[in-house]
């Protein structure tokens, strides 16, 4: 374990020898939701502390107790097996994470190695962009990154800083990087703002014009506006209205007409198709024998292992590590397992 300068939380390194599988925990590893998209989560850290963050990331996190980083070779060998399992073609590796993927120290090598796996057709990544540099963009482009989903939530510099809740965030710098991606790389750019009504209502049309002006969206849509949603452990900014989906889509339609751009996106826009899904190893409410192996992502949690899967145990603060426990599964969806010791 190591302490990071920015989050002051221990980092847990996950490699083949750690005995920690890459399936089961939302905070690291691989997520297969039964489509051609494999979510790749090499690190959980983030430098920002956005006031709306659904995963409570960054230095100002209230709930996190550790961060994770996955060994590159371990990650690649597991992805290779999963790609084969899913049919070996038309796969999109989507590096998304519960933080910012650019905190992964081997991000260029990761993209490079993903691009060498037969069957991976698209490599995409989600970021808020503060760690981008022109040099890094060149490297990611040369390594085969197909698309960058870049979150820009406001163009107004002071509002943008407030939303990111970090003095490190400078939207003018992120804009420079966005423009470099669009104009000087082979990476397609998708601008993905989170709409927090009414806080950044007036920013949305500006962001749409900006994305179109800089040439975002050559292969895929230029924009992916996301509706702010409340999450159990996510941050809840004061003053945000709960938009209904009806209101959200009605507004998107108005902007679509005004800017002549597609904003209401569907799985077809990203060529998402159904593919075989890894078997779900447990049933909900089933009791299984497991062994605790590491601290869980959030306070009071532990990671336990059973049947080559990670189960996140809640209310497990008092349970020691390397301890045998009987676990009752509370959540089993998409191979993400939450349970409780009984």
Q: Which residues of the shown chain bind ligand SF4 in the complex (CB under 6 A)? A: 46, 48-50, 53, 55, 57-58, 99-100, 128
Strand order in the sheet with 10-14: 2-3, 10-14, 67-70
Question: Quick one: 155 or 275, whose CB is closer to ligand SF4?
Answer: 155
Closest CA to 198 of 240, 229, 251: 240
Shortest Å, Cβ 149 to ligand SF4: 11
Question: Quick one: 149 or 292, whose CB is closer to ligand SF4?
Answer: 149
Shortest Å, Cβ 82 to ligand SF4: 24
Shortest Å, Cβ 202 to ligand SF4: 21
Q: Are 52 and 102 in contact (CB under 8 A)?
A: no
Shortest Å, Cβ 318 to ligand SF4: 29
Residue with tokens 């009752």: 328
Question: Quick one: 122 or 192, whose CB is closer to ligand SF4?
Answer: 192
Coil, strand or helix at 341: strand
Element (H, E) at 142: helix 134-143
Question: Quick one: 38 or 57, whose CB is closer to ligand SF4?
Answer: 57
Q: How far apart are CA 35 and CA 118, in angstroms?
A: 17
Shortest Å, Cβ 217 to ligand SF4: 21
Contacts 24+ apart (CB under 8 A), 135-141: 136/102, 136/108, 137/177, 137/180, 137/181, 137/184, 137/185, 137/187, 138/185, 139/108, 140/107, 140/108, 140/111, 140/185, 140/187, 141/185, 141/186, 141/187
Question: Quick one: 102 or 327, whose CB is closer to ligand SF4?
Answer: 102
Question: Quick one: 178 or 293, whose CB is closer to ligand SF4?
Answer: 178
Shortest Å, Cβ 226 to ligand SF4: 10
């Amino acid at each position: 374990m190591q302490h990071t300068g920015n989050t002051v939380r221990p980092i847990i390194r996950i490699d083949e020898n750690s005995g920690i599988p890459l399936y089961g925990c939302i905070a690291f590893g691989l997520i297969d939701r039964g489509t051609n998209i494999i979510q790749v989560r090499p690190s959980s850290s983030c430098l920002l502390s956005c006031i709306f963050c659904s995963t409570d990331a960054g230095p100002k996190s209230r709930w996190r107790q550790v961060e994770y980083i996955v060994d590159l070779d371990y990650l690649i060998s597991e992805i290779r097996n999963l790609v084969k399992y899913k049919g070996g073609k038309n796969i999109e590796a989507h590096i998304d994470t519960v933080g910012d993927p650019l905190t992964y120290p081997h991000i260029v090598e990761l993209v490079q190695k993903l691009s060498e796996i037969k069957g991976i057709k698209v490599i995409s990544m989600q970021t808020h962009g503060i760690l981008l540099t022109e040099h890094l963009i060149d490297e990611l482009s040369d390594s085969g990154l197909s698309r960058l989903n870049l979150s820009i939530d406001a163009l107004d510099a002071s509002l943008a800083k407030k939303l990111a809740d970090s003095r490190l965030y400078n939207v003018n710098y992120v804009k420079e990087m966005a423009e470099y991606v669009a104009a000087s790389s082979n990476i397609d750019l998708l601008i993905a703002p989170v709409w927090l009504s009414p806080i950044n209502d007036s920013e949305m049309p500006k962001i749409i014009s900006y994305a179109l002006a800089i040439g975002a969206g050559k292969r895929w849509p230029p924009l992916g506006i996301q509706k702010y949603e409340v999450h159990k452990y996510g941050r809840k900014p004061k003053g945000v209205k709960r938009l209904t989906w009806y209101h959200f889509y009605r507004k998107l339609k108005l902007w679509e007409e005004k800017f002549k751009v597609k904003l209401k996106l569907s799985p077809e826009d990203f060529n998402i198709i159904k593919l075989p899904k890894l078997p779900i190893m447990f049933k909900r409410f089933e009791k299984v024998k497991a062994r605790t192996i590491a601290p869980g992502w959030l306070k009071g949690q532990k990671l336990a292992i059973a049947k080559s899967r990670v189960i996140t145990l809640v209310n497990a603060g008092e349970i020691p590590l390397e301890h045998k426990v009987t676990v009752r599964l509370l959540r089993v969806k998409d191979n993400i397992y939450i349970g409780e010791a009984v």
